[in-house]
Amino acid sequence: MPERDKVSYASMISIYLKNDEFHKAERLFYETPDDMRTIVADSAMVNAYAKAGRLDRAKKVFDEMPDRNSFSWTSLISGYFKAGEVDAAVELFGQMPEREKNAITWTNVIMGFARNGLVEEARRAFERMPAKSVVAWTSMVKAYVENDRVDEAFKLFHAMPERNLYSWNIMIRGFLDDSRINEATEMFDSMRWKNAISWTTMVTGLAHNGMTDLARKYFDQMPNKDISAWNAMITAYTNEARMSEAGELFNSMAQRNIVTWNAMINGYSKDQQEDEAFRLFVSMLRNRMKPNETSLTSLLTSCRGILGVAQVHGLIVHLGFEIETSLANTLITMYYRSGDITSARVAFDNLEAKDIVTWTAIILAYSNHGFGVSALQAFAQMLHSGHDPDGITFTGVLSACSHAGFVKKGRMLFDSMRIAYGLEPTSEHYCCLVDMLGRAGLVDEAMKVVNEMPLGKYDSVVLGALVSACKLHGVDGLADRIGDELLELEPDSSGGYVMLGNLYAASGKWDKFSQLRKKMKEREVKKVPGFSRIEVNGKSHLFLVGDKSHPEMKEIYKLLHEKLVPEMRDFSYENCNIVL
């Protein structure tokens, strides 16, 4: 090639950077002879280093520059703001010659302050700015919006000498983020010109506010629907379990991305439509859309039995996601919820990068299935690995102590929440403690814990645990009093009625049982029916209380009467026919 000169060096470095070939640009920059260095190449490298977060390198090149321009100063200042080094950015801006401070520099300073939550500093910089561009005005409006100061944003918006589409869109987004729907719709409807971002902002904001039908109205009016608007509408429908409408939109889309597929799979999962979730996942693979961690997590949580969980586990391994910590955590949880502790432990052992959620999942797995010793061993291993427990972890270990009868250990762990880890016990932790004391026959101590509980922690869950303790140890009088208090605390919840009703039935207090049923009817309290689910030959069967729709129901009831009822009576469940 012809002999290289200053222009050719600078041009090639700029071309490399423009094409994201940073390492080639860096190598050529340091190969450039000193007499061939130019302000163009130097400034380009300062900007590239600053954008990459390599501020030490950016500062070194900047300091070595014989001459600096506005671009090099602004690039380094922006880099400091982006990295959260506000003091360094302010100091450098103060050193910058006034003649080099242009509208771009001032705007970057305003945005830098705002990005770091320093709205007042951003406002002062805006007020000092000699000639305010529409971009600077809009940046200040955006600063107010992103820091939840919508009224100030609107005031500034009205004061703008001129506005662009971006400033309108920012203001509309501010109103929507603040749930000020009327103001957002009025502003949107008053716009003379709207672009795709305007429409998408409106549809997405309304959808996020639960205004799904209004969002659909604007969506249908959109002249050119971008994929973000489609996804927002589908997500809104799935959040409301309106899967037929979500499916209608999904099927009418010309193009879909991973967000679209995930929204639908997650919708079916939340709606407990396991078969549809699997069908759609297979369709996604056939359409050559590569699933991600979110896809597999949604599919996993749709599983209603061990067979489905095992199938998704196979997919996770096949697709190379077994090392993803959050996905493995969900897998452990789904295995233990399906009753397969062994597979939960295998998934736990296979994961190298364990976090607090991983350890908590295996502790809950053991605790919920009655393996108290194993839960406490896992807790000890977690502490040894350097992870501090959180509130959910303590729920698991306290529950384990309760079911295993480890009262002394449980008390020590409860006390350690505040003393060792600075965690404030919640009503759930108090419930575990009360349950633990109650199971051990220490009803008076359980009552003392309830009486000494802080305000705000005293709820129906804790009282329910105390009622159960009274029932277990035959303290009927106290149970009656606590039960009445439980109904006063949550008069519209069926849980308290069911618990108290079972207590009355077990002690033969049929008059009180009848009064309780009458009170439930008067208050129109509906008991959520219980259900069981089993999996036979890969097929899931769901049984609701009182449901006789199963094709083999006669045979099932006959078997239950012959096998289960005698066993229940052997365990002192005499009132097998009583239902509240």
- What is the pLDDT at residue 464? 74
| CA dist., res. 114 & res. 139, Å (int) | 9
The reported pTM is: 0.70
Run of H or E including 383: helix 372-384
Q: 3-class SS at 480?
A: helix
- Across 87-103, average pLDDT: 92
Question: Does the residue 515 lie in any domain?
Answer: no
> Do residues 102 and 118 make contact, with C-beta atoms less than 8 angstroms apart?
no
Question: Does the residue 50 lie in any domain?
Answer: no
Residue identified by tokens 């303790």 is: 469
| CA dist., res. 170 & res. 548, Å (int) | 57
Report DSSP letters for 167-224, one per residue: HHHHHHHHHHHTT-HHHHHHHHHH-S---HHHHHHHHHHHHHTT-HHHHHHHHHH-SS
| CA dist., res. 211 & res. 232, Å (int) | 12
pLDDT tens readout for residues 176-227: 999 999 999 999 999 989 998 999 999 999 999 999 999 999 999 999 899 9
Strands 531-536 and 539-544, sheet pairing: antiparallel
Q: Could you tell me the pLDDT band of residue 490, with boundaries at 50, 70 and 90?
A: low
| CA dist., res. 125 & res. 147, Å (int) | 17
Q: Could you tell me the pLDDT band of residue 422, with boundaries at 50, 70 and 90?
A: very high
Distance of CA 230 to the CA centre of its chain: 22
Structure tokens at 331: 């897998």
Q: 3-class SS at 576?
A: coil
Number of domains composing the chain: 1
Question: Does the residue 434 lie in any domain?
Answer: no
Question: Does the residue 376 lie in any domain?
Answer: no
Question: Does the residue 566 lie in any domain?
Answer: yes
Can you give the residue range of the structural domain that contains 551?
Answer: 531-570
Using the Cα atoms of residue 525, residue 487, residue 367 and residue 332 in order, give the sign of their dihedral.
Answer: positive
Decide if pLDDT at 495 tops 60.
Answer: yes
| CA dist., res. 165 & res. 328, Å (int) | 44
Least confident of 324-338, 432-446, 465-479: 465-479
Q: Which of 456, 447, 462 is nearest to 499 (CA)?
A: 462
Q: Could you tell me the pLDDT band of residue 492, with boundaries at 50, 70 and 90?
A: low
Task: Please give the biggest Cα pair distance in the chain.
Answer: 107
Higher pLDDT, 428 or 36: 428
Q: Which residues contact 578 (CB under 8 A, 6 or more apart)?
A: 505, 513
Q: What rounded mean pLDDT belongs to the chain?
A: 85
Q: Could you tell me the pLDDT band of residue 107, with boundaries at 50, 70 and 90?
A: very high
- What is the pLDDT at residue 579? 47
Q: Which residues contact 183 (CB under 8 A, 6 or more apart)?
A: 175
> Do residues 372 and 400 make contact, with C-beta atoms less than 8 angstroms apart?
yes
pLDDT tens readout for residues 126-183: 999 988 889 899 999 999 999 899 999 999 999 999 999 999 999 999 999 999 999 9
Decide if pLDDT at 244 tops 90.
Answer: yes
- What is the pLDDT at residue 1? 47
Q: Which of 325, 378, 389, 332 is nearest to 356 (CA)?
A: 389
| CA dist., res. 319 & res. 25, Å (int) | 36
Structure tokens at 212: 């799904």
Q: Could you tell me the pLDDT band of residue 294, with boundaries at 50, 70 and 90?
A: very high
| CA dist., res. 26 & res. 16, Å (int) | 9
Decide if pLDDT at 523 tops 90.
Answer: no
Q: Which of 306, 299, 353, 311 is nearest to 329 (CA)?
A: 353
Q: 3-class SS at 28?
A: helix
> Do residues 468 and 435 make contact, with C-beta atoms less than 8 angstroms apart?
yes
> Do residues 332 and 360 make contact, with C-beta atoms less than 8 angstroms apart?
no
Question: Does the residue 562 lie in any domain?
Answer: yes
Question: Does the residue 537 lie in any domain?
Answer: yes
- What is the pLDDT at residue 578? 45
Question: Does the residue 559 lie in any domain?
Answer: yes
